[in-house]
Each structure stands twice: as C-alpha cells, then as structure tokens.
Amino acid sequence: MVGAGEAVGGAGKHGMRERLYYGCAIVVVVILGISSREFAAELPVFVAEHFGDGLWASMVYLGFRMLDVRRSRMWALGLSAAFCCGVEVSQLYQAEWINEIRSTTLGALILGQGFLAVDFVRYGLGIAVTFLVDWFMRVGRD
C-alpha cells in the first residue's frame, strides 16, 4: 500500500522531483526531435538522417525512468531497448488498418513508417547516450 506522501512509482517528494526532472528532459528531447525533422534541410545531412530516431529512443528511455523512478536505470535501458526494437520490427507488418494509423502524424511519430535495420543502431545509441548522461548526472546522489 502506498503511504501518505508517496506517489505510485516513486517515494514521496523525492519521487515527484525525479519525475519532474525526467518530464522536463522529455519535453526538451521532443522539441529537439521534432526540430530535427522540421529543420532537416538546414541541418548537416548526418544529423538530419540519424538524430531523430536516436532522440525518439532517448525519449522512450526517459519515459520509462519517469514512469517508475524507483527502478534501476538498467531496467529502463532494457525496457526501452525492447520497446524500440519491438516498434521497429512491427513495421514489417503492413496491414491496411495499421498503415492508416501510421499515416497520421501521431501514428508516424509513435509507430514509424517503414522498417530500416539501421534504426536499431540509432535506437541503441540514443538509449545508451541518455543512459550514460542519466547515470553521470546522478552519481553520488543514489
């Protein structure tokens, strides 16, 4: 049972503060990710082609950390990698109903539009970099 002052998935005020940090990080990453698509023509080709997927995976990692701050970073790393890879593999499924969802802006942002093996590398790097930043920012505080 959750005690007074404790939120589900976190321990009281500490958990809420952690969630706020991760929530703010998600907002920043989403803005960067959308900007990497919106301003692709103005960005270096490498950045325009690769950073959006890495930032999406970064957002997924941060989302799992925000969901339950009591769990380990490794839990979030594993779950976000599995989620991102699952979404990528799901793009091999091309039924009309799911392609209609993918044709919407939100559907494309969440489900992607087409399978690309290189996306696994992009996701892995996005998650790994975010994991390392998360870990180094928290050293000595845990």
Tens-digit pLDDT profile for residues 66-111 = 999 999 999 999 999 999 999 999 999 999 999 999 999 889 888 9
Copy the structure tokens of residue 51.
Answer: 């950073």
In this structure, which amino acid lies at residue 33?
A: G
Q: What's the confidence (pLDDT) of residue 11?
A: 58
Alpha helices per DSSP H over 39-95: 45-67, 73-90
What is the pLDDT at residue 7?
A: 46
**The dihedral sign for the CA sequence 132, 119, 57, 48:** positive
